[in-house]
Amino acid sequence: MRTYLNHGWLFAKGKDESFLSKKAVGETVEIPHCPVMLPIQYFDEKSYQGLWSYRREFDAPNDLPTQFLVFEGAMLQFNCYLNGEPLGHFVSGFLPVRIDVSGKLKEKGNVLVVYLDSREDPLIPPFGKVVDYLTFAGIYREVYLDSRPKAYIEDYFVRADSNGHIKVDVKTKGEATLSCKLTYEGEQIASFVKEITVPNNRLHLYSPEFPCLYDLVISYGEDKIETKVGFRDATWKEDGFYLNGTKTKLLGLNRHQSFPYFGMAAPRSLQIEDAELLKTSGINVVRTSHYPQDESFLDACDRLGLLLIDEIPGWQFISKEPKWRENCLDFARRMILKERNHPCLIAYGLRIDESADDHELYSSIQAAKKELDPYRPSLGVRNFKESECLEDIYAYNDFSCSDLTHGADKGTSWKGAEGKPKLVTEHNGHMFPTKSFDSTARRSEHALRHAKVISDVGGDPDIAGAIGWCAFDYNTHREFGCNDHICHHGVYDIFRNPKEAAYLYASQGKEGVLQAASSFLSGDYDEALLPPAYVFTDADRVELRKNGVRIGDFYPDKEDFPNMVHPPIKVDDWIGETFDEPRYSEKDAKKMVAALNYAAQFGFSRIHFSHKVLMLKAMLKYHLTFTDIYNTYGKYISSWGSENTVWSLTAYKGGKEVGRIEKGPSLSFHLEVKAARTALIHDDRYDCVRVSIAKLDQNGNLCRFASDPIEVKTEGPIEVYGPSLFSLYGGQSAVFVRTKAVKKPTKAKLILKGQDEEKTIEFEVK
Ligand code: GAL
């Protein structure tokens, strides 16, 4: 039985000795809690590296004899006192701490005091050297009291395979009888003690497409554990990854768990929203770089069928200090124990990201894995190709893509990986940082570089898949990024708003995607050119029209991106069927159109010699001047200062129209405000929902370079976590709405005031 202790903590900066007495004064806060609310950029990361005091009074009305106090995550280490008595010193970081407080609780008026130290400690990974992410501070995950009877289940390990075989191992305390009950969608499937095979006709395999989960109740006398089970085989072979016997290319993104303002203290609801967003991003796997993440994120991945690779805390560095190494091994053990029952987990990341070989440390971590979970493979992430590989899978961060001619190196060139399954665990990132408000050309290239890697890996029979760097822009130390404390490496920005690359990913695994990585406006490009527009879609073709007149059809670009499920569609002919110059012969017309399209992409000063000859010949043959030819360009291709043009793209799939977008000058504007949910629940924890804001034009296109001020107000039992006045950022932003306690269902309002309009979203808090 869990009693959550998330509400009503007293908090103070520094180590406040008075917290141990009744005289304690502080601010009342909620857990998850970040001691310092930082702006999204330009701050001093030292500001959160401090000491903090927390105090919570609570009753423990149940009389169960076994009681544990569980901290799911507190950055970084703490001393804890219960009713004045010291409970000890604990290192949490990214892992839970479970403290046995049996016999120490009073029925009423217990006082828990936590002195937390969030300073970077060189003896605890990931610290010791500078790290490309911020760890932030606070008791940033939930706290609860776990009450158990005298005989109870200390730990359990469930495995279920694609043959329907399920095996349950338990570690128990005290004498009682063990039994397990398996149900599927409320229907009882089996009752057993340790293991059983589910008959074929009742077996529903777990996969990303069908994440079928069974409910398992493990009873030990009075004690009960409820958990989810997925029957599946996740097998890694030298030639790739197999799910339930079917070879499956992995396509993924790396996730940092930090959020604007919250730091790492994003509540459960935002963790779940992230998993849901990633699931609809067209990917089938996520890597929790570079530390174990919130259980609610993993639970959501289980439910959604989003496969997961985890990772021990670290970043490039291994210390020689015995204490650091002890902590590293301890973290690996604790991560396995925390995560081994998740069906979504397909490999343990048991090497510090991009660290050097270290036989002694990594052998001991492998030995720990063998003891705690001999069944699931381990993976080690490197940024070099020759290495001692103690793990089961050789993972490599391939940053060899430096333009659009090359995506990824061949798996056969990874010398240290011989005989092992191979996976690209990062690509792009720092090679092409892209802000959501960068130029259209850059945002388009950012997406295409991801496409290039996906295609190269897609065509490499030796590599199981590719996980891009990364899902979301993230806060980082001053040594990285462009001095604003953000690594703009995400396919989404820090608010989880999509850059063009996000549509590229979505088009690979989601239906109904149609987005063009172009503004179709020459003024938006260098030299007022109009380079090809890349369209990210799962459709079979798109038809381009200019001011309603058909230009032609365009198909997935299988030449540049041969090995993608849905290669981008390259729109590189701005004239096509509209070319109506009777003076040209059919052959000359075709050549002239090609030359003019080339000029649109590269400029007249860079056209080929053959284009020049063609134009010269046309001038002689049809008595034209160069100005005539240039004017033909102006007539057909929207150019600097030319009249408004509306380009439309209609997508077709299986012969049916599936979507249409129109691009052209933005003439009128509105704010689009969206919340994933409006029914909010304030129970053992506060609820929180991300509300996205975007400035759109009359065609529904994002006004990318808008930075309008937005003012926020609330009415009723909600508040906005973050500033109440801010600017749009790449035409978009988001606010995070948090609930306050209510006695009965109560209406609340979020009011967002833009320059010219006001938008209101109504919520109900229960
Ligand atoms: C990698 C590293 C990531 C991130 C990335 C940026 O080397 O593993 O954490 O720093 O570079 O591209």
CATH of the domain at 489: 3.20.20.80
Number of domains in the chain: 5
> Distance, CA 485 to ligand 1 centroid (Å)?
15
- Taking CA atoms only, the protein residue closest to ligand 1 atom 5 is 429
Q: Is residue 517 part of a domain?
A: no
Q: What is the pLDDT of residue 646?
A: 93
> In the numeric block, which tokens belong to residue 31?
């857990």
> Distance, CA 448 to ligand 1 centroid (Å)?
19
> Distance, CA 430 to ligand 1 centroid (Å)?
7
Question: Domain ends where: 148, 166, 193?
Answer: 148
Question: Domain ends where: 663, 685, 716?
Answer: 663
> Distance, CA 132 to ligand 1 centroid (Å)?
7
Range of the domain at 736: 669-765
Both 112 and 134 in one domain: the answer is yes
Q: What does DSSP say about strands 143-148 and 732-739: parallel, antiparallel, or unpaired?
A: unpaired
Please, are residues 27 and 12 in contact by the beta-carbon 8 Å criterion?
Answer: yes
Q: Where are the beta strands (DSSP E) in 527-629?
A: 533-537, 541-546, 549-554, 569-571
171/21 Cα distance (integer angstroms): 39
Q: What is the pLDDT of residue 104?
A: 96
- Taking CA atoms only, the protein residue closest to ligand 1 atom 3 is 132
- Taking CA atoms only, the protein residue closest to ligand 1 atom 9 is 132
Q: Where are the beta strands (DSSP E) in 140-222?
A: 143-148, 152-160, 165-173, 178-184, 187-192, 195-197, 214-220
For residues 143-165, one letter each, b for 16 or more C-beta atoms within 10 angstroms of the residue's C-beta and e for the rest, the string is bbbbbbbebbbeebbbbbbbebe
> Distance, CA 506 to ligand 1 centroid (Å)?
23
Both 734 and 642 in one domain: the answer is no
Q: Which atom of ligand 1 is nearest to the CA of 290?
A: 9
Q: Which helix (H) or strand (E) holds 616?
A: helix 609-621
User: Which of the 8 DSSP states describes residue 631?
Assistant: H
Pocket test for ligand 1, best of 132, 475, 477 (most atoms within 8 A of CB): 132
Pocket test for ligand 1, best of 469, 476, 479, 482 (most atoms within 8 A of CB): 469
> Distance, CA 452 to ligand 1 centroid (Å)?
19
Both 78 and 157 in one domain: the answer is no
Both 318 and 454 in one domain: the answer is yes
Q: Is residue 720 part of a domain?
A: yes
136/670 Cα distance (integer angstroms): 36
User: CATH no. for residue 88?
Assistant: 2.60.120.260
> Distance, CA 518 to ligand 1 centroid (Å)?
28
> In the numeric block, which tokens belong to residue 99?
């403290």
Q: Which helix (H) or strand (E) holds 82?
A: strand 77-82
Pocket of ligand 1 (CB under 6 A): 132, 290, 353-354, 383, 397, 426, 429-430, 469, 489
Q: Which atom of ligand 1 is nearest to the CA of 429?
A: 12
Both 635 and 700 in one domain: the answer is no
Q: Which single residue is written with the structure tokens 């805390």?
A: 313
- Taking CA atoms only, the protein residue closest to ligand 1 atom 10 is 132
User: Which of the 8 DSSP states describes residue 640?
Assistant: T
Pocket test for ligand 1, best of 430, 432, 491 (most atoms within 8 A of CB): 430
> In the numeric block, which tokens belong to residue 350?
């048991």
Both 568 and 693 in one domain: the answer is no
Q: Which single residue is written with the structure tokens 């038809």?
A: 543
User: Which of the 8 DSSP states describes residue 454?
Assistant: H
Both 658 and 674 in one domain: the answer is no
> In the numeric block, which tokens belong to residue 25?
């004064």
Q: Which atom of ligand 1 is nearest to the CA of 399?
A: 12
- pTM attached to this predicted model: 0.97
> Distance, CA 429 to ligand 1 centroid (Å)?
7
Both 91 and 213 in one domain: the answer is no
- Taking CA atoms only, the protein residue closest to ligand 1 atom 4 is 132
Q: What is the pLDDT of residue 481?
A: 87
Q: What are phi and psi of 232, to 5 degrees?
A: -165, 155
Q: Which atom of ligand 1 is nearest to the CA of 487?
A: 6
440/471 Cα distance (integer angstroms): 19
Both 215 and 266 in one domain: the answer is no
Q: Which atom of ligand 1 is nearest to the CA of 431?
A: 12
> Distance, CA 473 to ligand 1 centroid (Å)?
12
10-residue mean pLDDT profile of the chain (766 residues): values are 96 97 94 95 92 97 91 98 98 98 95 98 97 97 97 98 98 98 97 97 97 98 97 97 98 98 97 98 97 98 98 98 98 98 98 98 98 98 97 98 97 96 98 98 98 98 97 94 94 98 97 97 93 98 96 98 98 96 95 96 94 94 94 86 87 97 95 97 97 97 97 98 96 98 98 96 98
- CB contact set of 110 (below 8 Å; sequence gap of 6+): 57, 58, 59, 60, 82, 83
> Distance, CA 190 to ligand 1 centroid (Å)?
46
Q: Which atom of ligand 1 is nearest to the CA of 476?
A: 10
Q: Is residue 505 part of a domain?
A: yes
Both 288 and 430 in one domain: the answer is yes
> Distance, CA 492 to ligand 1 centroid (Å)?
16
642/520 Cα distance (integer angstroms): 13
Q: Is residue 239 part of a domain?
A: no
Tell me which residue of 160, 179, 286 sits closest to 228, measured CA to CA.
Answer: 160
> Distance, CA 9 to ligand 1 centroid (Å)?
36
Q: What is the pLDDT of residue 61?
A: 77
Q: What share of the chain is helix, strand, coil (3-state, %, to 5)?
A: 20, 35, 45
Q: Which atom of ligand 1 is nearest to the CA of 316?
A: 8
Both 264 and 402 in one domain: the answer is yes
> Distance, CA 394 to ligand 1 centroid (Å)?
17
State the number of CA atoms in the 13 A half-sphere of 88 facing the CB.
Answer: 9
Q: Which atom of ligand 1 is nearest to the CA of 289?
A: 9
> Distance, CA 399 to ligand 1 centroid (Å)?
9
Q: What is the pLDDT of residue 205?
A: 98
Q: Is residue 240 part of a domain?
A: no
> In the numeric block, which tokens belong to residue 196?
């059983």
Tell me which residue of 662, 661, 663, 658 sits closest to 540, measured CA to CA.
Answer: 658
79-84 contacts: CB < 8 A, separation 24 or more?
79/114, 79/115, 80/112, 80/113, 80/114, 80/115, 81/20, 81/111, 81/112, 81/113, 81/114, 82/110, 82/111, 82/112, 83/110, 83/111, 84/20, 84/111
Both 205 and 252 in one domain: the answer is no
- Helix and strand numbers, DSSP H then E, in the chain: 9, 48
Q: What is the pLDDT of residue 140?
A: 98
Q: What is the pLDDT of residue 73?
A: 98
Q: Is residue 335 part of a domain?
A: yes
User: CATH no. for residue 681?
Assistant: 2.60.40.10
3-state secondary structure of 610: helix
172/152 Cα distance (integer angstroms): 6
Q: Which atom of ligand 1 is nearest to the CA of 381?
A: 8
Q: Which atom of ligand 1 is nearest to the CA of 353?
A: 8
Question: Domain ends where: 511, 540, 565?
Answer: 511
Q: Is residue 516 part of a domain?
A: no
Q: Is residue 38 part of a domain?
A: yes
